[in-house]
Amino acid sequence: MAERQQELAAQILKNPNVQSLTSFIGVDGSNITLNRGRMLINLKPRDNRSDTASEVIRQLQKDVAHIPGTSLYMQPVQDLTIDSTVSPTQYQFMLTDPNIGEFTTWVPKLIDRLKQSPELADVATDLQDNGQSVYIEIDRATASRYDITPATVDSALYNAFGQRIVSTIFTQSNQYRVILEAQPSMQHYTESLNSIYLPSATSSGGQVPLSSIARFIEKPAPLLVTHLSQFPATTVSFNLAPGSSLGAAVKAIAQAEKDIGLPASFQTHYQGAALAFQASLSNELFLILAAIITMYLVLGVLYESFIHPITILSTLPSRGRRRAAHHQARSRHHRHRAADWYREEERDHDDRLRALRRTRGRQVRRARRSIRRVSYVSALF
């Protein structure tokens, strides 16, 4: 993972719009598994580059597409955000289902369908169901003959692969834990289980191999299991395609779920900015009603009547339709006869200027006559 992330970093730094980057790897609060890492890519100041952050993201995706075995998901950093989770892309929603086995069947189908939607881009999920697990099936009859209990097996496995503290070394300034574990080279292979021995009081040698009382079964298992409201869940994240809106993306997700026939046991829960968008749509009717009530109160106070505001508000829909039709007709006329329209506006402007000049000229002449009359009267006086 470290080698592949360094290869990605070297390719990203070749882009002329990138100034520097910082790479993180390992398990922490945001990286739950070892096969994921994070990068913070710093771009040059906006005055020193001609491309926006979204355009640079598209360039980098093309630059690293040839690197095998890894995928790079990017999103522009937001100054203000309401998202509480870290995800590969900007918007997220979670799928919940009581049956965790259905995720393996339906989530890949949904991801493939969402990738075909023109409103979405960079669709990703945290479902990682290709891990490997080892089940140890104990032969109870054979184990009882050696006087070995399941607790003995658990203790031996924890000694080899756990973090058992066997002692503490104290110094003048610090203390050190002594951890019992198997060699690191034996912790990654199933065959190492054959090297584990269990204590037995009935055996002549005092030690019984684990493989003599149990068999090992390898099965696929998820690397990560998340929960939402106590139900198994998986997170699907996405970016918006250029020119697309969040409302169109939400409709595309609902349509994709219908197209693949997603079972009714799956529930979709939007998170962060997508959740806030849905909440604003759910309150839109109440906001319109509140605006109408506010307008009625203001008009009622203005006209001192209960009937006049209703009369005025009842004319708003028809006036709105007429205004929209007039705007469309004006736009159509503007597209077809833009030059004539501009010339007509110039003529109207010139006519208004001439009328204004004539009005001002009359006002000036009247003022001069008044001054002459006043001066004549004063001379006579």
Residue 351 has pLDDT above 60, yes or no: yes
Residue 97 has pLDDT above 60, yes or no: yes
Find all residues with CB under 8 Å of 141, minimum gap 6, and list them. Answer: none
Residue 321 has pLDDT above 80, yes or no: no
Q: Quick: pLDDT tens for 258-271.
A: 999 999 889 888 88
* Pairwise CA distance, residues 116 & 260, whole Å: 12
Number of H helices and number of E strands within the chain? Answer: 11, 13
Angle 173-178-183 from CA coordinates, rounded to 5°:
140
Residues 195/186, Cβ–Cβ less than 8 Å: yes
Distance spanning both ends of the chain, measured CA to CA:
108
Residue 293's H or E segment, with its range, is: helix 284-303
DSSP string of 179-224?
EE---GGGTT-GGGGGG-EEE-SSSSSSEEEGGGTEEEEEEEE-S-
Q: Quick: pLDDT tens for 273-301.
A: 777 777 766 676 777 888 888 888 888 88
Percentage, residues of the chain above pLDDT 70: 80
Return the pLDDT at 113.
92
Residue 376 has pLDDT above 70, yes or no: no
Buried b (16+ CB within 10 A) or exposed e, 68-96: eeeebbbbeeeeeeebeeebbbbbbbbbb
Q: How confident is the model at residue 255 (pLDDT cuts 50, 70, 90)?
A: very high
Buried b (16+ CB within 10 A) or exposed e, 274-307: bbebeeeeeeeeeeeeeeeeeeeeebeeeeeeee
Residue 362 has pLDDT above 80, yes or no: no
Q: Is 187 left (phi over 0), alpha (psi -120 to 50) or beta?
A: alpha
Return the pLDDT at 272.
77
Task: Tell me if domain 84-126+225-282 and domain 131-221 are identical in fold.
Answer: no
Return the pLDDT at 375.
40
Q: Quick: pLDDT tens for 36-47.
A: 888 899 999 888
Encoded tokens for 381: 């006086």
Return the pLDDT at 276.
73
* Cα–Cα nearest to 61, from 124, 148, 114, 109: 124
Q: How confident is the model at residue 139 (pLDDT cuts 50, 70, 90)?
A: very high
| Domain 84-126+225-282, classified CATH 3.60.21.10, yes or no | no
Average pLDDT over residues 87-101: 86
Q: Quick: pLDDT tens for 144-187.
A: 888 888 999 999 999 988 888 999 999 989 999 999 988 887 87
Return the pLDDT at 187.
76
Average pLDDT over residues 238-245: 86
Average pLDDT in the chain: 80
Residue 310 has pLDDT above 70, yes or no: yes
CATH assignment of 131-221?
A: 3.30.2090.10
Domain 1-74 has what CATH class? alpha beta
Return the pLDDT at 379.
40
Domain extents in the chain? 1-74, 84-126+225-282, 131-221, 315-381
Return the pLDDT at 114.
92
**Cα torsion angle, 161, 165, 171, 175, sign:** positive
* Pairwise CA distance, residues 222 & 128, whole Å: 5
Return the pLDDT at 70.
87
Encoded tokens for 181: 């574990």
Residues 19/42, Cβ–Cβ less than 8 Å: yes
Average pLDDT over residues 180-208: 81
Max CA separation in the chain (angstroms): 150
Residue 335 has pLDDT above 50, yes or no: yes
Residue 374 has pLDDT above 60, yes or no: no
